[in-house]
Amino acid sequence: MLDFPRWKRIWLWGLTLVGVLLAVPSINMLAGGGSWPSQLPDPEINLGLDLAGGSHILLEAETAQVRELRLEAMEEDVRRALREADPAIEIGDISTANGRLSFMVQQETQVDAAREVLLPMTEGVGLTGQRDWTIRVVDGQRFEVSPTDAGLNQAVENAMDTATDVVRRRIDELGTREPTIIRSGDDRIVVQVPGLDDPQKLKALLGQTAKLEFKLVDQTALPSDIAQGIVPPGSQILPYAEDGRGQGAIAVKRLGGIQGDQLTNAQQGYDQNGSPIVNITFNQEGGRKFATLTTQNVGKPFAIVLDGEVLSAPNINEPILGGQAQISGGFTVDSANALAISLRSGALPIDLQVVEERTVGPDLGADSIRKGVLALLIGGVAVLTFMFATYGRFGMYANVAILLNVLIILGIMAALGTTLTLPGIAGFVLTIGTAVDANVLINERIREERRRGRRVVQAVEVGYREAQRAIIDANVTNVIAGVLLFLFGSGPIRGFAIVLIIGIVTSVFTAVTLTRMWVAGYLRKHRPADLHI
């Protein structure tokens, strides 16, 4: 019990001092103490949306797009699979009317072979026993390929999961801490970003699908026909972007080209005229396709298409090798940066519309902090008074441990960059109560051992040893609960869990280890014959 070597005392006091020093910038911030000297490190805790204010938006997915996108992808797959069959299977034009693919196999003798090629392209949906596509042959040679309801529902679910991940990556690119991004229902995503008071910036970033395509321009289409919505088979009309370099609309080849999902990087830059652009880099496969496309079409224009709008349609003057390209289109520095972030984060698999937006002011949070601190002070004074009045010197040790516990929690949270939310303040108060309970348990055990007739040192040693077991057992269960809350919760719930876990660890350190060191020092120095506890 009295064996606390010098190195151990230095180690414990060092840990305590580091924790306290880490808390100082946060205390300065919470107290509104003005700017922090720039020469000093400034680890500060982050305040959640309910304390610091920020932006809240609700996104809703256009799930009707899923059917259209699946049909488009299936059309390309069907064409490629039948073309690459051995022998190749010739088909007529593919129709996507009425939500299904329809095409005619040119030779009746190849109908069975075509079915064999198409069947592996359908998959089972979970445990429903259904396939994601149905394949029918009507009139002898005409195939109809239709998505099933189970397949569509599964596709919507997958698209929403992917969209949530993309939204999270885009928010992370903003450098914000502890945003809340959660699914709400089947087709909505809630986004809350503490500290971001510019919801327009958030809307611009999340409202863009960022589906990038490079498509060849159909030069056979006449401008007069395009104006009337008439294009050759296999082409489509796309409008120029409002801020792009062209006006009106342009005809491009519907299939082929290169998708932007093969990008590895995107950065804002400047062209030779000093105008903002976005520099992109393809992966090996994308670079190879881009080199092939530009090599085979030198002298022809190709359109840079973003979210169904043409940014520009430059001529291919020479093959573009090396897997790097530039996107220009009348950008500002901010819009080019936003596009670069969106491209790096990946395209949304489905369009998201902002159906609700709110800016949460910091006034409510400041009021909550004031009331929380007031409650903490009143409760703290009452607890400190009770402990001192009940346990004397040992109560004073417990009181100092509680104060240090508060500072160390703040210090660790600041060092880890965690976020303090309103429920987190509740977690704060709860851990302080846990620390008090630990000291009450220790002191009562020491009293009990004294009543049994043990000598002072033995009573203290047994009291700490027996109480420590109960304290650790109880706190292990609390830590397990906190970890589960952190893993399965979100937003403020995770904030509560973080404070709870950190507080439990620090309360055991301060209430058991530090007070034991102080009590050992007192006993070793004064050798009391009795304890007033």
Which amino acid, 389?
A
Most confident of 264-278, 341-355, 390-404: 390-404
Q: At residue 105, does pLDDT exceed 70?
A: yes
Give the pLDDT score at 351: 83
Q: At residue 244, does pLDDT exceed 60?
A: no
Asked if residue 497 lies in contact with residue 486, where contact means CB atoms within 8 angstroms, the answer is yes
**Domain 6-52+362-526, CATH:** 1.20.1640.10
Provide mean pLDDT across the span 431-457: 88
**Percent of residues, the chain, with pLDDT higher than 90:** 11
Residue 243: pLDDT band (50, 70, 90) is: low
Give the pLDDT score at 154: 87
Where in the chain are all domains bearing CATH 1.20.1640.10? 6-52+362-526
- Say whether the peptide bond before residue 87 is cis (omega within 30 degrees of 0): yes
State the pairing for strand pair 142-147/133-138.
antiparallel
Q: What is the C-alpha separation between 125 and 133, in angstroms, rounded? A: 10
Q: What is the mean pLDDT of the chain?
A: 83
Q: Both tokens of residue 69? A: 């996108």
Q: At residue 14, does pLDDT exceed 90?
A: yes
Query: How long, in residues, is the chain?
Result: 533
| Residues paired with residue 359 on neighbouring β-strands, in sequence order | 55
For CA atoms 43, 49, 53, 55, the dihedral sign is positive
Q: In what order do the strands lie in the sheet with 302-306?
A: 258-259, 212-216, 302-306, 309-312
Most confident of 138-142, 344-348, 491-495: 138-142
Of residues 345, 301, 294, the one with CA closest to residue 172: 345
Radius of gyration of the chain (CA): 33
Predicted TM-score (pTM) of this structure: 0.60
**Percent of residues, the chain, with pLDDT higher than 70:** 94
Q: Both tokens of residue 271? A: 């062209």
Query: pLDDT: is 531 or 175 the higher one?
Result: 531
Q: At residue 8, does pLDDT exceed 70?
A: yes
Topology given in CATH for the domain delimited by 64-148 = Gyrase A; domain 2 (3.30.1360)
Residue 131 C-alpha from the chain's centroid: 32
Topology given in CATH for the domain delimited by 208-359 = Gyrase A; domain 2 (3.30.1360)
Where in the chain are all domains bearing CATH 3.30.1360.200? 208-359
Residue 12: pLDDT band (50, 70, 90) is: very high
Q: What is the C-alpha separation between 304 and 308, in angstroms, rounded? A: 10
Residue 371: pLDDT band (50, 70, 90) is: confident
Q: At residue 427, does pLDDT exceed 70?
A: yes
Q: What is the C-alpha separation between 168 and 491, in angstroms, rounded? A: 13
Query: pLDDT: is 316 or 19 the higher one?
Result: 19
